[in-house]
Structure 1
Amino acid sequence: MKLTTKLLAASAIVSASSAYAVDLEVMHWWTSGGEAAAVNELAKAVNENTEHNWIDGAIAGGGDTARPVMVSRIIGGDPPAAFQFNHGLQAQELIEAGLMLDLTDVAEAEGWEDMVNPASLLDACTYEGRVYCAPVNIHSWQWMWLSNGAFEEAGLEVPETWTEFVADADALREAGIVPLAMGGQSWQQNGSFGVMAVALAGLDNLLAVNRDKDASVVRGEAYGEVFQAFADAREMAEGLDVQDWNQATNAVITGTAAAQIMGDWAQGEFAVAGMTAGEDYSCLPGLGEIAILDTGGDAFYFPVTGDPEIEAAQKEMAALLLSPEVQVAFNSVKGSLPIRGDVDLTSVNDCTQKGLDLLANGDTMPSGNQLLSPDTTTQLNDLMTEFWNTPSMTAEDAQERYAQIIESAN
């Protein structure tokens, strides 16, 4: 695979060419089996198509662990060449402080405005009219993954909705199968609650809460039903003690658990395990209740270094990440959707095709990272993990505290 003429032109924006190969330390939190395979595609693209070297800076423990480390490096004057964040509000303070490289010239030379789909992904990288990150994928939380083998063992048909799944919970228990897999990290519990809120309370109510910060909707009947459903889910997850999300996914892969609410990055784990969508596992966008995708995902930001050689290499990498070849190679392994619609994805599996169809139909919504500040998200993470791990906390108690957080949200 060779760099296109446009990629070479983009790398020449800062200087005619980099006089020296640059070691590009890239920090990210992709450490599970599927994630590591996907990030290897990006590293291979940089190493094979530029003179520069990808120096891997993986941080285990997920975004909640990795982001503070990355920010500390940047504000401490020892920044990496690039780092992964979710596109949205997570990097806004760094941008405001002048610590992020302006990529507008690359975006204009490459035609990102016409290429990135949906446009909200580029909007999420844009601050005061300038582009500060390179979006690389569309990831959606709005999925439920089901073990076909677990339902077969329990003598059940694979459910097509959350309602049908709940009705199967007792039979799964009787067959020695944990109905719902859930890891111990707070972002998993809050993320799952968000998926249930869309599926059971509807998109309008979800937007009223997350976008409009309307606490009265949280206190209303529709959200009350979501909190009760989440309390029921808490009981369905009893008996599985795992911490990381991919450990919960593995429980579904092995049939120890029947299902998991998790973003489409889970597909990378199914792929590494050699499982086939539609045969070994099934997927329900919107829990089968409201088929929809949130358009979250990952982007790479590039800290200001003051070194023109590094800056030229950073911009060359930014352009490369959105090239058709890299988009196909990376997203095919990651389980995510590409951010450009002009690439060949004829070989994708059944679940990815469902996502592509929803995207093509415009059945999308903003992600939480695009609507809520990191501080608000942290507060909600803390509340929902407390609720999940405290059986004595009632749905009504959690509902009121959630409403109070939304009332004070910025």
Structure 2
Amino acid sequence: MKLSTQLLAATAICAASSAGAVDLEVMHWWTSGGEAAAVSKLAEAWNATGNTWVDGAIAGGGDTARPVMVSRIIGGDPPAAFQFNHGRQAEELIDAGLLLDITDVAEAQGWKDIVNPPSLLESCTVDGKIYCAPINIHSWNWMWLSGPAYEKAGIEMPTDWNSFMESAEALRAAGVTPLAMGGQSWQQAGAFNNVMTIAIAGKDAWLSVMQDKNAETVMGPEYTAAFEAYAAARELSTGINVQDWNQATNALINGEGGAQIMGDWAQGEFAVAGMTAGEDYGCLPGLGMGAYLQTGGDAFYFPVNDDPEITAGQKELAAMLLSPEVQVAFNSVKGSLPVRGDVDLTTVNECTQKGLDLLANGQTLPASEQLIAPDTITQLNDLMTEFWNTPSMTAAEVQQQYADIIAQAE
């Protein structure tokens, strides 16, 4: 017989309060201004239960944070909870028996009925058991436009990739770098793997490569067009030398950069800067060309712990993360969409509404992390950042090397 949500929460709270509440260390890589504001909503909600959120933020993004988290876990000093992306990143930890099975929490709250799309919960499920709590839907598939930059250039913000390319000359003439791009490989590779290929090569070609691991598609005309567009984008990014993604977003905020290809988490930075969607900044899902929403995002996992009070606290936290109140409070600040399909978001801005419309219309795709093994993603990231930073490397050369990696992918 399933526990009700209320009984589950009460049981966890009693277990925690019997020891005077619990302190849970939560590790994540949300350190930019907008991200920190969103995390504060989770911490406030958790502290309001009488427990204590011990923040374990790691700067530098997921590529920096994930090895630290894994080292802590396999080294016998795990945090109580940690952030990973939806998908295959936790497979080895689950296989090693190091992560807590939270199926009882998911069943008590009816996650299978409320999590939308179902692929998010499927990504948390291994051999019928659920190991993570999905917290949001984050999509890579956006181009963000700077209102101040286009005002400086004296032209309207573009409506798609082609009109953006046409606007580049006017932006340059106004002293604006057309495309702001950070220096980390996940940014440079993500713009290609998750945005340009879907928008330019098309959904079917992208699925053929990412889902079916078809190297012949990589060498076909659809992907050739995407590689050539990526080479053109490389030429538009000279002039802004920053490392972190939020520094590139800040270039749009202050009018130094015209556009950025980045996930919807960029909206958190615009919000912190007091900017209004549709006025101070624009957004083009899918580069304005056949938009699809990748329904990836973030989830929290919970390492196995010998202390029953900590385990009870972990399950209480997992339940809280999917509560309607927390889903709205966190995602409204983060720029992401809630994983619950039953919450009220009637007051969201026009860019978030575009994402909701795509979700409602079924114009969705899985995230790359849900289809490709982490080792393959690392290889693709390394290749595409090499290309981005090597002007002498041609589109044809990177295309062949990309195909070679896909041919060997799991």
TM-score using structure 2 length: 0.97
Q: Distance in 1 between matches of 2:408 and 2:377?
A: 12
1:343 counterpart residue number: 343
Unmatched tracts of structure 2, length 5 or more: none
User: Which stretch shifts more, 236-245 or 13-22?
Assistant: 13-22
Q: 1:13 to 1:103 in 2, by over 3 A?
A: farther
The corresponding residue for 1:116 is 115
Alignment match, 2:236:
236
1:167 CA drift (Å):
1.1
Moved more, 52-61 or 7-16: 7-16
What displacement does 1:7 show? 4.5
Aligned ranges for residues 122-161 of structure 1 at < 5 Å? 122-161=121-160
Whole-Å separation in 2 of the counterparts to 1:6 and 1:78: 33
Secondary structure, in 3 states, of the residue corresponding to 1:333?
Answer: helix
* Per-residue Cα deviation, 1:23-52 (whole angstroms, up to 9, x for no partner): 10000000000000000000000000x231
Residues 19-28 or 66-75, more deviating:
19-28
Matched residue, 2:9: 11
Q: CA RMSD in A?
A: 1.2
TM-superposed CA distance for 1:367, in Å, is: 0.3
CA distance in 1, matches of 2:11, 2:216: 51
Q: Is the 8 A contact 1:293 1:365 kept in 2?
A: yes
Question: Within the alignment, does 1:286 sit opposite 2:260 as a pair?
Answer: no
Q: CA deviation at 1:384?
A: 0.5
Letter in 2 for 1:258: G
Matched, 1:43 2:40: no
Query: How has the CA–CA distance of structure 1 residues 14 and 332 changed in structure 2, closer, same or farther, with 3 Å as cutoff?
Result: closer
Aligned to 2:101: 102
The DSSP-based 3-state class of the residue aligned with 1:17 is: helix
3-state SS of 2:296 partner:
coil
Q: 1:333 — aligned with what?
A: 333
Once the two structures are TM-superposed, the CA of residue 11 in structure 1 deviates from its matched residue by 3.5
Per the TM alignment, residue 12 of structure 1 is displaced from its structure 2 partner at its CA by: 5.2
CA–CA distance in structure 2, aligned partners of residues 276 and 219 of structure 1: 41
In 1, the alpha carbon distance for the partners of 2:254 and 2:141 equals 22
* Residue identity matched to 1:149: P
* Structure 2 counterpart of 1:24: 24
Please state whether the residue corresponding to 1:242 is helix, strand or coil. coil
The answer as to whether partners of 1:253 and 1:270 remain within 8 angstroms in 2 is yes
Task: Give the secondary-structure state (helix, strand or coil) at the position aligned to 2:179.
Answer: strand
Instruction: Tell me if the contact between 1:11 and 1:313 (Cα under 8 Å) persists in the aligned partners.
Output: no
Contact preservation (8 Å) 1:13, 1:106:
no
Query: Aligned residue for 1:313?
Result: 313
* Distance (whole Å) between structure 2 residues aligned to residue 97 and residue 398 of structure 1: 36
Q: Map of 1:185-264 to 2, 5 A cutoff?
A: 185-194=184-193, 195-264=195-264
Q: CA deviation at 1:17?
A: 2.8
8 Å Cα contact 2:328/2:345 also seen in 1: yes
Q: What is the aligned length?
A: 405
Q: What CA deviation, in whole Å up to 9, does each residue of 1:280-307 have, x standing for no partner?
A: 0000000100111000000000000121
* Pairing 1:88-99 to 2, within 5 Å after superposition: 88-99=87-98
Q: Which moved more, 1:148-157 or 1:175-184?
A: 148-157
Partner of 1:74: 73
Distance 2:348 2:93 in 1: 37
Task: Give the TM-score normalised by structure 1.
Answer: 0.97
Q: Which amino acid aligns with 1:123?
A: E
Task: Say which SS state the counterpart of residue 144 (structure 1) adopts.
Answer: strand
Query: What SS class does the counterpart of residue 15 from structure 2 fall into?
Result: coil
After the TM superposition, which segments of 4 or more aligned residues of structure 1 sit over 6 Å from their partners? none
Tell me which amino acid in the other structure corresponds to 1:51: G
* C-alpha contact (below 8 Å) 1:117/1:340 kept by paired residues: yes
- Quick check: 2:12–2:313 contact (8 Å CA) kept in 1? no
1:65-89, Cα deviation, whole Å (9 max, x unpaired): 0000000000000000000000100
**C-alpha displacement at 1:15, in angstroms?**
8.8
CA-to-aligned-CA distance 1:318-377 (integer Å, 9 cap, x gap): 000000000000000000000011111111101001111111111100100101111000
2:387 aligned partner: 387
Please, which moves more after superposition, 170-179 or 105-114? Answer: 170-179
List alignment gaps of at least 5 residues for structure 1. Answer: none
